[in-house]
Structure 1
Amino acid sequence: MLPFTMRGAIITSAITCLSHTVTLSVCLAKTIPQLEPLVWQILANVIIFTCGNLAGAYHKHLMDLALKQTYQDTCNCIKSPIKLEFEKHQQERLLLSLLPAHIARVMKAEIIQRLQGPNFGRTESTNNFHNLYVQRHTNVSILYADIVGFTRLASDCSPGELVHMLNELFGKFDQIAKENECMRIKILGDCYYCVSGLPESLPDHARNCVKMGLDMCEAIKKVRDATGVDINMRVGVHSGNVLCGVIGLRKWQYDVWSHDVTLANHMEAGGVPGRVHISSVTLEHLKGSYKVEPGDGQTRDSYLKEHGVITYLVINPKTDRQSPLLAVRSRPSLDGGKMRASVRMTRYLESWGAAKPFANLHHRNSMTTDNGKINTTDVPLGQYQFQRRERSKSQRRRFEEELNERMIRTIDGINSQKQWLKSEDIQRISLFFHNKTLEKEYRATTLPAFKYYVTCACLIFVCIFIVQILVLPKTAVLEVSFGLAFLLLALILLLCFADHFLQRQKDASCSFAWFPTSSRVIVTNNPWLRLILTVMTTAVILVMAVFNMFFVEDPGGAVEDILTSAALEIPVTTAQMNRSNDSLLEYQEKNTEVNKFYLPYFIYCCILGLLSCSVFLRINYELKMVVMLVAVVIYNIIILQTHASLLDGFSKAPYPTHELQRPGVLKDLKTMGSVSLFIFFITLLVLARQNEYYCRLDFLWRDKFKRECEEIETMENLNRVLLENVLPAHVAEHFLGCNWKNEELYHQSYDSVCVMFASIPDFKEFYTESDVNKEGLECLRLLNEIIADFDELLSKPKFSGVEKIKTIGSTYMAATGLNVTPGPECTQEHDRQYMHIGTMVEFAFALVGKLDVINKHSFNDFRLRIGINHGPVIAGVIGAQKPQYDIWGNSVNVASRMETTGVLGKIQVTEETSQILSTLGYMCSCRGMINVKGKGELKTYFVHTEMTRSLSQGTVVP
């Protein structure tokens, strides 16, 4: 119980035992005429000291291990909330960068439920529909903006330049949107659209969108003036109502739908470069804030003409105030004749300094702020480590100081004095957990070390046996009793160690093959059996400590007669006294059994028996208390009642003179034996309670740590799910890895990527807004079912290479070939090189089949119009506030044209793609030459949907 180290305790106990043994040997050797009993006593004392010290060392060793484990669990429990805090904050930031808060909360709860459920990855629903996260908002303004001339500019860009320009431009637009209280919805190529009045209604929503449109035009004008690149901004704004939210199961993107959204799109298409084109509805909401002029949008867009929309062009207030001298400015630093337009654009846009997507991942700044508080704004997502190599020593020191401060506060509650104070988790008296479930789990905890408890108890039994063999008379009862006890304890040991014995015997007979597994499982996992074995083991040891005392004859009468006669000689002469003393000495010399020098060793054996109860560290504290209490009571009955005369005779034997009729209390074996048992009982009881407290505290920390680890794992999985819902898996791994620099934009060029656009043109006619369908909400519910069923196809192994890019209204965009490693080292044979194109066609077939099933259940007749093309593309991630993965390139534009110029129920491909499909076993029929916007006349083909790819059977048609 003293605060010694193991080495200090061993040295102190060795010195104490050695000094006691030497002192006793020297003193008694001079007074006792016969040395043989003294030798046995000294040997017995050595055995008792050795046994006690070994049991104490064993107990201290296990206690030290328990305390170290408790300390480690405490450290983990202190670190895990910090990590959990980081993970939660990072997850919130990522989720809110994808979705508005009101949608994010609902979707987050469902994702966590799926992650914690048994069927993670499967869509579970209590009805026949997928969950729909769409809400209706009124009185909002929608802005569509398109960069005129960017397509021509992009064709001259390298992959890095293109992604850099888009990120800088849209990063600037995001900044303008934030300043004007607008929410960016989505980026479609070089088209940018946002809404003002979401998620909370704003009275100035129309003014905000118009102001944003003017600022965007002004920003592009500065780029044009500074670089000489012929680009401009065409902006369209309309006000009305929208349905906003998320549809589908993969690649969530917050979007808006309504007739007013469609009209805003056409306002942009029918607009004028460099001007903000607004509808009459928006003009009414402006309430004279801006001057306008007729827009004549119906002359430039057929949709506006069909719906009789009156449009206006906003007059920029800055134009009236601008000096004519400022209108003509020189190109100060960029020479258009010597530098490509894309290079001039890239260099100029670098001055805007837009943030990089996921720049906060693996941030190298300090984890703590200047005031020592944990900084949760720049924490690595899902990969936080407490000692990253990149963190400087000073930063690591500050973080460790924060941990140490929390450690000191927490560990202050782990010292032994706290076990008597009120706790929220542990009862003060019984040490039971307040939580009954936790108490049940604690009692059912497996105890792999139980066999070592039994082993230590058996070693104590062996020491008791050796002590009694050394000092007690050799009788048949002694031999038989210890023989039976040895047999019983050997069986218990065999039951505990059977797995160790028999597992090494590979050729064990089948009849014993069940024994190791059964014993290991039953003894280790069955708390009731452990209690029974504990009671049996301790009971055998406690009984054998005093069992042979009942067979010792009481010689108290002979000694009493001599002492009495000596005491009654009054007066006495010196010769008479000498005769009396000589008679007693002669009696003792002739019969060493008279004084029963071994009687104290029964009490020592009783103390060793009590010690055997304390070695069962993880056994219930109340059981050990009851067993030791019963043993002490029985021992005291034996000492103070049944064998009191025997012990009295021993105590009186050294005092034969009439001056001492009875020895003092400190020399009375009966009294001091009882006191010694009581002191050891209290000591072992305190040790047992302290051990129980630490064991329960360790279990409590382990339970808390386990629950927090599960929550951290859920948060990390949630972060990964969210990130992979924005990015393809291989791109997400790039950002989650630790070898990328957050100063760089992610971009990748591919030589051969197959792009597919699949639209449902009939949905535009199906979509209506009325009270019957909740202003279009039920129409979107059906679209959500269609997109969700399409997304479910992505989980099939055969479509693992298909990557969903986005949905645009009722159009589904996907690509294959993005998860292969680009470069010259990836030159496979012809059929494998283009296998992903066949996978995309198979996916298109699957989409058609899915839509047919939906049509049967919804009594509709939707048909897909699909366009597919393959070729080189550029992939990248742009947008810091709402990171978005996208692909660009001529191949993407042509694939989109293949869809818009296609035919319902057909898959239209280019001539180059049809040639590849023919080598893969698909049959294509020529459609002929068609006019494609921006491409002129192109020969296209239709893929026969009733054909199946022969490659799926393992052959390739040449």
Structure 2
Amino acid sequence: MHRQEKILLAVLPKNIAFEVKKDMQDTHEERMFHKIYIRKYEDISILFADICGFTNLASEYNPKDLVLMLNELFARFDKVASIHQCMRIKILGDCYYCVCGVPEYQKNHAINTVEMGRDMIEAIRLVREMTLVNVNMRVGIHTGKAHCGVLGLKKWQFDVWSNDVTLANQMESGGLPGRVHITDATRRYLNGAYILEEGNGASRSKFLEKEKIKTWLVVDRSPDYDIVSQETANHPMTIPWKSTRGISKQERLTGMSTRTRGASTRNGLSEEEVLVENVDSHLRQGIQAIHQENWKSMYCQNWSLKYKQVRVENKFVRMKYKDIPFQVTLYVAIVAICIGIKFGLMNLMVFSFIPQAFILLTSIMIFILTRLLMSLIYFSSFIVLITVKLVAIDKYDTLFSVYANFCVLSCLTLLLVVFSTRRSELISRYDFIWKLQALDEQLQMKRKHEQNRSVLENILPSHVAKHFVEDATSVSKLYHESRDNACIMFATLTAFDKFYIECDGNNEGVECLRLLNEIISDFDQILDRDEFRKIEKIKTISTTYMVASGLAGEECADNSHVEAIALFARELLLKLESINMHSFNDFNLRIGINVGPVVAGVIGSDKPHYDIWGNSVNVASRMDSGGVAGRIQVTEEVKSILEPLGYQFECRGQINVKGKGMMTTFFLLPPDDCQCELYK
């Protein structure tokens, strides 16, 4: 339970995770639209960072080693982000982006983000020295506002949307390797903390030129501004990079120097001692509660001891008298046996030479001995006490008669019996309340466990989530698996950038995101069908929907996972056409599919992020980005698998694919009976 909660809160902010779990509990509520989990944040700084020369770096490593290196690098980024109070949003291949000021406002969000960028450039410099590969990092920063939250129904990833986020992304694209590229809006929040120079971003980016964005490059810290003391005031645990010079390059890169991993302790106690202490504490509280009757006024009526809640009283009565039918049955059975024995003995005496008196006396003796053995101690003690008391009273008491004393003694006995039975009833009812509370807590824990599991499986694939929950040490280990014949699909919603407008009429763009949430949620619901159970949603990247199949290994033998992707792509086009008809829009999909080997894994020790890597993934992405709206573009490998199954293709010809050169691609044609206007 605790491990589930820890992983969940590492991926989603606490307020979002709590709201999601609460809504999962209230699934009976009918809604016209899917719930959208988005909040608006003002005065935040957004950082985008991309590894320059990643293709060269990838060529130097096999896929598994590349994932290991990325895991170490991004784990270091996560630790640096924590130091500078930044929140990592997503990892997109070799791109890392984060924000400062979410979910809690940070006064120095701009300075923290610039320091984050400088530390990332230092980290990639260490990679360059260790690998001898010419890699660098391009960092772009912008300050503004954003809508933050999650979209869709599956594989939730915390994300940010706004025009300012788009601008921050373009600042990275128009930046320079090894430099922190900031907008004039960010500069105004730095208060002279850095030495800056003209960035000239418009000369490298058409977007920045079109929007007339003035940019700057960070040169160094300003000697007149004490950034270290400012950081220390905000977070005393900050350790500047210069203080790590004595640490090895490997440790400085990974941020994971050797440390003792002992059992969790509290105040010097071992884990077992802490557990014993907690149990003893609960027992002490329970014993004290027995002697306190405050609970009685909370649950029971003072005189009758009946529970105030009729529902609880009915449960108690049913529990208390549930054995009565059994007891009555047992009593009847015993009486029947006794009667049977009696008649049996009578028949026996008719034909027996044994004197009846002997049998009768024997029966009486057995009965008397049995009764004596059962009640001799209590009965004799009671008789002795009563006799002694009456004799003493008769001999020495001159005020009352024997009859009067007997009445007084009887009344006292009655009061004692009433008090004893009332106390017994009180304890019985108290014990019942404890049992109800224990059952309720157990039910709540089970429900919370199921909620956490459901949310966790909406963040990680079910088999990966199970691996992390069951293995206590797995969170700090790299999880990866190779698949030789995975099928990858990217589908991008076109024209949404023109549709998205931030104005008062649509709540600063929230209503546009609400429609995007509906589209993604409808796509997610298609994945719930049995024919698409082999498909795993990986993530959404802005308006791009990414899925893959064949990640389970055993499902790849007959290539049915490739056909499932093709059918899923067609279903997306049909669904989008229906959405367009009801929302009066003209969105379209640009889809790309490829098949080949991939490495699937989880990177980031503190914030686990599931993704797939490999050349096959890059080619599938290029099939989308270099595709045509309303068409499904596939590689020759996909065509060779689907064509024998009856699918028809149109050869597009050769196109230039980044990292691959010229490639021959094909368009998957719609079936003859297809009525979809979008599917050309």
Q: Which residue number corresponds to residue 655 of structure 2?
A: 930
Match for 2:586 among 861, 865, 869? 861
Q: Percent identity?
A: 45
Q: Which residue number corresponds to residue 370 of structure 1?
A: 267
Mapped to 1, the partners of 2:139 and 2:519 lie a distance apart of: 32
In the alignment, does 2:544 pair up with 1:811?
yes
In the TM superposition, what are the counterparts of 1:314-393 in structure 2 within 5 Å?
314-317=218-221, 352-353=255-256, 365-366=263-264, 369-370=266-267
In the TM superposition, what are the counterparts of 1:12-161 in structure 2 within 5 Å?
87=1, 93-114=6-27, 124-126=29-31, 128-161=32-65
Q: Which residue number corresponds to residue 207 of structure 1?
A: 111
In structure 2, give the amino acid aligned to 1:240: G
Match for 1:402 among 261, 266, 278? 278
In the alignment, does 2:496 pair up with 1:763?
yes
In structure 2, give the amino acid aligned to 1:721: S
Tell me which moved more, 684-693 or 290-299.
684-693
In the alignment, does 2:76 pair up with 1:163?
no
Mapped to 1, the partners of 2:42 and 2:136 lie a distance apart of: 31
In structure 2, give the amino acid aligned to 1:103: I
Q: Which residue number corresponds to residue 240 of structure 2?
A: none
In structure 2, give the amino acid aligned to 1:923: Q
Does the C-alpha gap of structure 1 residues 272 and 264 become closer, same or farther in structure 2, counting only changes over 3 Å? same
Q: Which residue number corresponds to residue 714 of structure 1?
A: 447
SS at match of 1:916: helix
Does the C-alpha gap of structure 1 residues 105 and 913 become closer, same or farther in structure 2, counting only changes over 3 Å? same
SS at match of 1:230: coil
Unaligned runs of 5+ in 1: 1-86, 118-123, 320-331, 335-344, 373-393, 470-603, 612-663, 950-958
Does the C-alpha gap of structure 1 residues 163 and 355 become closer, same or farther in structure 2, counting only changes over 3 Å? farther
In the TM superposition, what are the counterparts of 1:405-416 in structure 2 within 5 Å?
405-411=281-287, 413-414=289-290
Q: Deviations over 1:71-116 (max 9, x none)?
A: xxxxxxxxxxxxxxxx4x65654443222334333323212333xx
Mapped to 2, the partners of 1:714 and 1:410 lie a distance apart of: 25
TM-fit CA distance, 1:229: 2.9
SS at match of 1:853: helix
TM-fit CA distance, 1:132: 1.6
Mapped to 2, the partners of 1:770 and 1:736 lie a distance apart of: 43
Does the C-alpha gap of structure 1 residues 348 and 369 become closer, same or farther in structure 2, counting only changes over 3 Å? closer
Mapped to 2, the partners of 1:744 and 1:200 lie a distance apart of: 30
Tell me which moved more, 272-281 or 403-412.
403-412
SS at match of 1:942: strand
SS at match of 1:851: helix
TM-score, length basis structure 1: 0.57
Mapped to 2, the partners of 1:348 and 1:407 lie a distance apart of: 47
Mapped to 2, the partners of 1:678 and 1:442 lie a distance apart of: 31
SS at match of 1:135: strand
Question: Does structure 2 retain, via aligned residues, the 8 Å contact 1:251–1:727?
Answer: yes
Q: Deviations over 1:270-325 (max 9, x none)?
A: 21111111223323333433222232323322222333333222213499xxxxxx
Please state which structure has a larger fraction of its residues in strand. Answer: 2
In the alignment, does 2:66 pair up with 1:190?
no
Question: Does structure 1 retain, via aligned residues, the 8 Å contact 2:523–2:575?
Answer: yes
Question: Does structure 1 retain, via aligned residues, the 8 Å contact 2:654–2:663?
Answer: yes
Q: Which residue number corresponds to residue 782 of structure 1?
A: 515
TM-fit CA distance, 1:778: 1.1
Q: Which residue number corresponds to residue 274 of structure 1?
A: 178
In structure 1, give the amino acid aligned to 2:662: E
Question: Does structure 2 retain, via aligned residues, the 8 Å contact 1:932–1:938?
Answer: yes
Mapped to 2, the partners of 1:885 and 1:757 lie a distance apart of: 16
Does the C-alpha gap of structure 1 residues 843 and 947 become closer, same or farther in structure 2, counting only changes over 3 Å? farther
Does the C-alpha gap of structure 1 residues 743 and 812 become closer, same or farther in structure 2, counting only changes over 3 Å? closer
In structure 1, give the amino acid aligned to 2:192: G
Does the C-alpha gap of structure 1 residues 805 and 773 become closer, same or farther in structure 2, counting only changes over 3 Å? same
Does the C-alpha gap of structure 1 residues 421 and 172 become closer, same or farther in structure 2, counting only changes over 3 Å? closer
Q: Deviations over 1:232-286 (max 9, x none)?
A: 1111112222222211111111111122211211111121111111223323333
Q: Which residue number corresponds to residue 730 of structure 1?
A: 463
Mapped to 1, the partners of 2:177 and 2:115 lie a distance apart of: 16
Q: Which residue number corresponds to residue 915 of structure 1?
A: 640
Q: Which residue number corresponds to residue 636 of structure 1?
A: none
Q: Which residue number corresponds to residue 440 of structure 1?
A: 314
Match for 2:525 among 780, 792, 810? 792
- Indicate the structure (1 or 2) with the bigger Cα radius of gyration: 1
In structure 1, give the amino acid aligned to 2:11: L
In the alignment, does 2:585 pair up with 1:852?
no
TM-score, length basis structure 2: 0.79
Match for 2:603 among 845, 867, 878? 878
Match for 1:181 among 68, 75, 85? 85
In the TM superposition, what are the counterparts of 1:496-895 in structure 2 within 5 Å?
685=418, 688-738=421-471, 741-821=474-554, 828=557, 832=558, 834-895=559-620
SS at match of 1:424: helix
TM-fit CA distance, 1:224: 2.1
In the alignment, does 2:117 pair up with 1:220?
no
Mapped to 2, the partners of 1:290 and 1:111 lie a distance apart of: 47
Does the C-alpha gap of structure 1 residues 907 and 225 become closer, same or farther in structure 2, counting only changes over 3 Å? same
Does the C-alpha gap of structure 1 residues 189 and 241 become closer, same or farther in structure 2, counting only changes over 3 Å? same
Mapped to 2, the partners of 1:677 and 1:205 lie a distance apart of: 83
Q: Deviations over 1:184-218 (max 9, x none)?
A: 11111110111122234444332222222112112
TM-fit CA distance, 1:682: 6.1
Q: Deviations over 1:822-863 (max 9, x none)?
A: xxxx884xxx2x110111111111111111111111001111
Q: Deviations over 1:342-391 (max 9, x none)?
A: xxx9x6677521899xx9xxx9724x62366xxxxxxxxxxxxxxxxxxx
Match for 2:667 among 920, 935, 942? 942
SS at match of 1:316: strand
Mapped to 1, the partners of 2:491 and 2:333 lie a distance apart of: 80
Mapped to 2, the partners of 1:235 and 1:675 lie a distance apart of: 96
Unaligned runs of 5+ in 2: 224-245, 344-367, 376-399, 675-680
In structure 2, give the amino acid aligned to 1:449: D
Mapped to 2, the partners of 1:250 and 1:799 lie a distance apart of: 14
SS at match of 2:306: coil
TM-fit CA distance, 1:151: 2.9
Question: Does structure 2 retain, via aligned residues, the 8 Å contact 1:922–1:944?
Answer: yes
